[in-house]
Amino acid sequence: MLIQEKLRQAVGILNELSIDCWLTFVRESGISGEPTMPFLLSSDVTWHSAFIVTRCGRICAIVGELDRKAVEDLGVYQEVIGYVEAINPPLVRLLEEIAPKQIAINYSKSSEICDGLTHGMYLTLLDILKPIQYDRRLISSEPVISRLRARKTETELERVQAAIRQTQEIFDLAAGFIHPGLTEKEIARFMLDEVKRRGLETAWDRAHCPAVFTGPDTAGAHYRPTGRAVEPGHVLNMDFGIKVEDYCSDLQRTFYILEPGQDQAPEEVKKGFRTIRSAIEKSRRKLAPGVQGREVDAVARREVVSAGYEEFPHGLGHQVGRFAHDGTALLGPPWEKYAGKTFEPVERGMVFTLEPRLTVPGRGVVTIEEMVVVTENGAEYLSEPQQELILI
């Protein structure tokens, strides 16, 4: 079971970091949306609930009495304590028994994926812990959660790979469907119909997945498909991903729409494609455990700029997991908006995208997005790399 795998992994991470205790504190989890809950429970909880993992391997849950049976039936918690009136007494008793020197809780200034504790719940937790002076032992769980999300288990990788396979199949179908005169919206609708036919869901908001951009002067990224029509001479690119058993894919592919009499793309489009292909491959070779994300980004950025193009206005790649944008470590430049994420060292088991882009004037945006997994000595493709322009 995946939850069991992740909880076992959490114990190892706590030992690695010398942190005594990790506490996830939630209520109405179906509303508040704590990002780590799927690693702890397969259902939602209603009342104030505490999920505690210790470095010695003790794994406990304190939940409202009516939630207790569902948590017990999961079979992953050694202790499940139910309460009726208030969580305070059983939580204080358990923590005093554990006597942790540090209690890692889910807040973070820099990582949205580690910042699930609401301010109200934080204040409630302080009220519970102050009488025993354990409020002074609270630290951020960011290093715990970052590693837990980043280090994909075998089960997680299998699910990501299944999502990638389905995504590539739908891209192949779209290549046979696209022709001049179709609009971005019509292409997106074709792909969404296929997603529905397969009983799947998109990796992010359906209004923007797939994102379809044809020709010059488009929004370029993170924008919904429009009524713009495909025309001969256009570069067309799509950003698309789906979710399989809660795990995502995120890929981009670039097409060229042949003009009458053409049997290949013009040289300026082929040069742009070659540049992107080279930037991806060179950055993949740089990607390895211990390397900082900014170093990997710099390789791709240099390749694009040295070929005469402007540098792309975003990071080279992000982690993928239960969300299309997942994890803390990022492959990107040391810009303020990335809040130190690009200085995080890369670890084995991380799944990243590699997605540089450039503009070919008068034609459109050339971009490819591949997915790779960091291995013991480097990084390997999870997706089947796009090696050639897809000609329409």
Q: What is the per-residue pLDDT across 131-170, written as a single tens digit (0 to 9) for each? A: 999 999 999 999 999 999 999 999 999 999 999 999 999 9
Q: What is the pLDDT of residues 315-325, one digit of tens each?
A: 999 999 999 99
> What is the structure's pLDDT at 221?
73
Q: What's the CA gap between 251 and 257, in Å, rounded?
A: 20
Q: What's the CA gap between 117 and 123, in Å, rounded?
A: 10
Calculate mean pLDDT across residues 243-263.
97
pLDDT band at 32; cut points 50, 70, 90: confident
Q: What dihedral do alpha carbons 160, 161, 165, 168 form, nearest 10°?
A: 70
pLDDT band at 178; cut points 50, 70, 90: very high
Q: Report DSSP letters for 81-138, one per residue.
A: EEESS-SHHHHHHHHHHH--S-EEES--SS-GGG--S-HHHHHHHHHHHGGGTGGGGE
Residue 359 — φ and ψ, nearest 5°?
-110, 130
> What is the structure's pLDDT at 99?
97
> What is the structure's pLDDT at 218?
78
Q: What's the CA gap between 104 and 13, in Å, rounded?
A: 12
Task: Please state which architecture CATH assigns to domain 151-391.
Answer: Alpha-Beta Complex (3.90)
Q: Is the dihedral of CA 226, 230, 233, 235 positive or negative?
A: positive
Q: What percent of the chain has pLDDT above 90?
A: 95
Common-topology check for domains 2-149 and 151-391: no
Answer whether 234's CB lies under 8 Å from 257's CB.
yes
> What is the structure's pLDDT at 9?
97
Q: What is the pLDDT of residues 321-376, one digit of tens each?
A: 999 999 899 999 999 999 899 999 999 999 999 999 999 999 999 999 999 999 99
Answer whether 155's CB lies under 8 Å from 322's CB.
no
> What is the structure's pLDDT at 219?
72
For residue 158, is it left (φ>0), alpha (ψ between -120 and 50) or beta? alpha
Is residue 210 reached through a cis peptide bond, with omega within 30 degrees of 0 on the bond before it? yes
Domain ranges of the chain: 2-149, 151-391
Task: Please state which architecture CATH assigns to domain 2-149.
Answer: 3-Layer(aba) Sandwich (3.40)
